[in-house]
A and B are shown apart, each in its own frame.
Chain A
Amino acid sequence: MTALLRADGLAKVFAARSRWSALVGGTSVVRAVDEVSIELAEAETLALVGESGCGKSTTGRLIMRLIEPSAGRIVFEGDDITASSGAVLRRARRRMQMVFQDPRSSLSPRRTVLQTVAEPLDANGLIRSAAHRREVVAQLLDSVGLSPSVMGRYPHQFSGGQRQRIGIARSIALGPSLIVADEPVSALDVSVQAQIVNLLQDLQKERRLSYLFISHDLAVVRHIADRVAVMYLGRIVEIGPKPDIFRAPHHPYTQALLSAAPEARPLRAQKRIVLTSDVPSPSAAPSGCGFRTRCPIAQDICARERPALRDVAAGHSAACHFAQPNPLGRPS
């Protein structure tokens, strides 16, 4: 069955900022995204997880064509949009939208809720009249749980959770089929987070939305995702169905990540796997496997040969020479 979205070998390379820094410090090349391939079906949620600097946000922006890919192909709803521009790109953009992390900066401080939510429609010439605009925005606000009476207000009069709802209302205005959600609940309190996550799920069911859900919060991912892709230093190190990833991760980083997340269950005294050193800088990625400097089971081959993503089970692959269920030992 044709996938809604297909990205092959996506890459984004940031070169040295100026000749001077290249002269002084040698070539400083940052491979923010390195050969990332993902596939997303209709009404499916694929989570991109990883810590800061892993490239998940950049990947999301590449898919949205907000950043230009250095390499790779993006096929969305059957069209190759990798290099398209102008009208073709605008048409594609109607069908894919984005929800941002920071409720403060994702809404223009000087525009009312009405103007912000209606903007995608205005930009695409879909508004017939002022009355029509108000009507459409009222419906959108209602579908995200906000009273239409607030449409004349400015963002700073709302709480973080409410602003996020406004941002979501804007993102569904054009009736997209794909939403790239970049850490949509990370900046919210736990109780508000629950509300927004439920909202996103409800909208998904109602509108057959697909989500590319970018997050570092594994607990939320565990709840909302169908499939999970784990990223480290710009590469996907493991990808597979959610239950498999959480029950039996095959990559050591995945296992360490799962183990590190503090569980709100103190009775389960967990033997936590604590990695020793820091994440290497993306501009100085280790040779071979990027994770080897922190990996408890790294061997010589890990420095020589970069592991490719290999199937370890149905629909589940991991990039590790020693991939096996729970490679760092059984959790207690």
Chain B
Amino acid sequence: MTPAAEAVTVPPERGTLAQIAISLVRDRVSLFFSVMLVAIVLMAIFADQIAPYDPIAQSLLSINLPPSAEHWLGTDQFGRDVLSRIIYGARTSLLLGVIAPALAAVIGTVFGVTAGYFGGWIDRVIGRLLDIFLAFPALLLGILIAAALGAGFWNMVLVLTIAFAPRFARIARASTMSIRSEAFIEAAIASGVRTPAIMLHHILPNIAGSIVVVLTLWIATAVRLEATLSFLGLGTQPPKASWGNIIRDGLGNLFGSPWPIVAAGLAITVTVLAFNMLGDAVRDILDPEATDE
């Protein structure tokens, strides 16, 4: 009987989350944006507790006030506290920015993995479907759907999901195809593992990296898209606050008070940058796999 080979002496490596956290605080820029990201998320969650005023409460006496002790970011042309609107806007933007891509990721991955795993006619049919959807720019799709079904939060979720799902599907399909012929898949088949189990336990965990990377990057895009659609009047409807329609309202009131636009613009910029940075960090860690040799 062969003597037991030496047990592995390499210390267990840090978990993935820890690695991502470490790379996010590594330098000042990353640290700044990481803090911002956390702040924005907390803002969205605890809006009710944090916001000093009701975001839709108007006050004709306090129109277009500059920043002061009572209104840190001033007020807009309806006397609404800009800070409160920004805080509640975070909730809208983030909700949309996270829910829609997440939904799109799930739907897209299902189609993509199926196409990539089975190949053949299944792949061709799904491929054509994807091509049709991919032919539409996301914004155009948004405008069309908003025009057909009306504006509003859930319609926008629908828009963004339809826009993003094919893109996720493409990535999932490519990743699946690249590992489809690996030996460990053959081993699983040879061991009697059934196809759904192979997809769930072997394909999915190994492509999760690329999916998650794209997901974090597209949260940023979703936030931007939401702002654009709201700005165009197709997204979140007033008086509900969203960064996009704050800019919209603010545009007509530019000489009354520039603060709403400045604040909302900054908020969007910081959020998008923060998520982009998160996406980079996630990508560096997950995809490709760190080598030990």
Which residues of A sit under 8 angstroms from B292, Cβ to Cβ? 156-157
Complex formed: what's the CA distance from A57 to B193 in Å? 22
Contact B205 A123 (CB under 8 A): no
Instruction: Determine which of A107, A109, A149, A199 lies in contact with B289 in the assembled complex, contact meaning CB atoms within 8 Å.
Output: A109
Shortest A120–chain B CB gap in Å is 4
Contact B183 A119 (CB under 8 A): no
Chain A interface (Cβ within 8 Å of chain B)? Answer: 61, 64, 66, 90, 93-94, 97-98, 100-102, 105-111, 115-116, 119-120, 122-124, 142, 144-147, 149-150, 153, 156-158, 161-162, 165, 167, 170, 173-174, 195, 198-199, 202
Q: Confirm or deny: B27 has a beta carbon within 8 angstroms of a beta carbon on chain A.
A: no
Complex formed: what's the CA distance from A122 to B188 in Å? 11
- With A101-B183, A105-B182 as given contacts, are A153 and B12 in contact (CB-CB < 8 Å)? yes
Complex formed: what's the CA distance from A309 to B239 in Å? 87
Q: Total interface residues on B, using CB and 8 Å?
A: 32
Contact B289 A146 (CB under 8 A): no
Contact A199 B7 (CB under 8 A): no
Contact B3 A145 (CB under 8 A): yes
Contact B186 A66 (CB under 8 A): yes
Which residues of A sit under 8 angstroms from B193, Cβ to Cβ? 119-120, 122-123
- Give a binary string over B1-44; 1 marks a CB under 8 Å from any A CB, 0 the rest: 11111011010110000000000000000000000000000000
Contact A150 B2 (CB under 8 A): no
Contact A120 B289 (CB under 8 A): no
Contact B5 A98 (CB under 8 A): no
Contact A109 B7 (CB under 8 A): no
Task: A108-B188, A142-B4 given; name 4 further pairs at CB < 8 Å.
Answer: A66-B186, A100-B183, A106-B183, A156-B291
Contact A119 B188 (CB under 8 A): yes
Q: Which 4 A-B pairs have the closest CB atoms?
A: A120-B191, A110-B205, A106-B183, A147-B7
Which residues of A sit under 8 angstroms from B7, Cβ to Cβ? 146-147, 149-150
The interface-forming segment of B148-156, B194-202, B251-259, B272-280 is B194-202
Which residues of A sit under 8 angstroms from B69, Cβ to Cβ? none
12 inter-chain pairs at a CB distance below 8 angstroms, sorted by A residue, are: A93-B192, A97-B190, A98-B190, A102-B183, A105-B184, A108-B202, A110-B205, A123-B191, A145-B2, A156-B289, A156-B290, A158-B8
Contact B1 A157 (CB under 8 A): no
Contact B5 A162 (CB under 8 A): yes
Closest chain A residue, CB of each to CB of B189: A66
- With A105-B183, A156-B291 as given contacts, are A119 and B191 in contact (CB-CB < 8 Å)? yes
Complex formed: what's the CA distance from A116 to B189 in Å? 13
Contact A198 B2 (CB under 8 A): yes
Contact A124 B192 (CB under 8 A): yes
Q: Confirm or deny: B60 has a beta carbon within 8 angstroms of a beta carbon on chain A.
A: no
Closest chain B residue, CB of each to CB of A116: B184
Which one of A123, A145, A158, A174 has the highest number of Cβ atoms from chain B below 10 Å of its Cβ?
Answer: A123
Which one of B3, B4, B13, B197 has the highest number of Cβ atoms from chain A below 10 Å of its Cβ?
Answer: B4
Complex formed: what's the CA distance from A190 to B227 in Å? 62
Q: Confirm or deny: B147 has a beta carbon within 8 angstroms of a beta carbon on chain A.
A: no
Complex formed: what's the CA distance from A157 to B11 in Å? 9
Q: Confirm or deny: B206 has a beta carbon within 8 angstroms of a beta carbon on chain A.
A: yes
Contact A145 B184 (CB under 8 A): no
Contact B190 A123 (CB under 8 A): no
Complex formed: what's the CA distance from A107 to B191 in Å? 13
Which residues of B sit under 8 angstroms from A108, Cβ to Cβ? 184, 188, 201-202, 205-206
Complex formed: what's the CA distance from A90 to B191 in Å? 8
Closest chain A residue, CB of each to CB of B5: A145
- With A105-B182, A123-B197 as given contacts, are A195 and B2 in contact (CB-CB < 8 Å)? yes
Which residues of B sit under 8 angstroms from A120, Cβ to Cβ? 191-193
Closest chain A residue, CB of each to CB of B205: A110
- Give a binary string over B200-213; 1 marks a CB under 8 Å from any A CB, 0 the rest: 01100110100000
Q: Confirm or deny: B187 has a beta carbon within 8 angstroms of a beta carbon on chain A.
A: yes
Closest chain B residue, CB of each to CB of A93: B192
Which residues of B sit under 8 angstroms from A198, Cβ to Cβ? 2
Complex formed: what's the CA distance from A42 to B203 in Å? 36
Complex formed: what's the CA distance from A66 to B205 in Å? 23
Instruction: Determine which of B4, B187, B197, B290 lies in contact with A167 in the assembled complex, contact meaning CB atoms within 8 Å.
Output: B187
- Give a binary string over B71-97; 1 marks a CB under 8 Å from any A CB, 0 the rest: 000000000000000000000000000
Contact B186 A157 (CB under 8 A): no
Shortest B240–chain A CB gap in Å is 42
Which residues of B sit under 8 angstroms from A116, Cβ to Cβ? 184
Complex formed: what's the CA distance from A154 to B171 in Å? 25
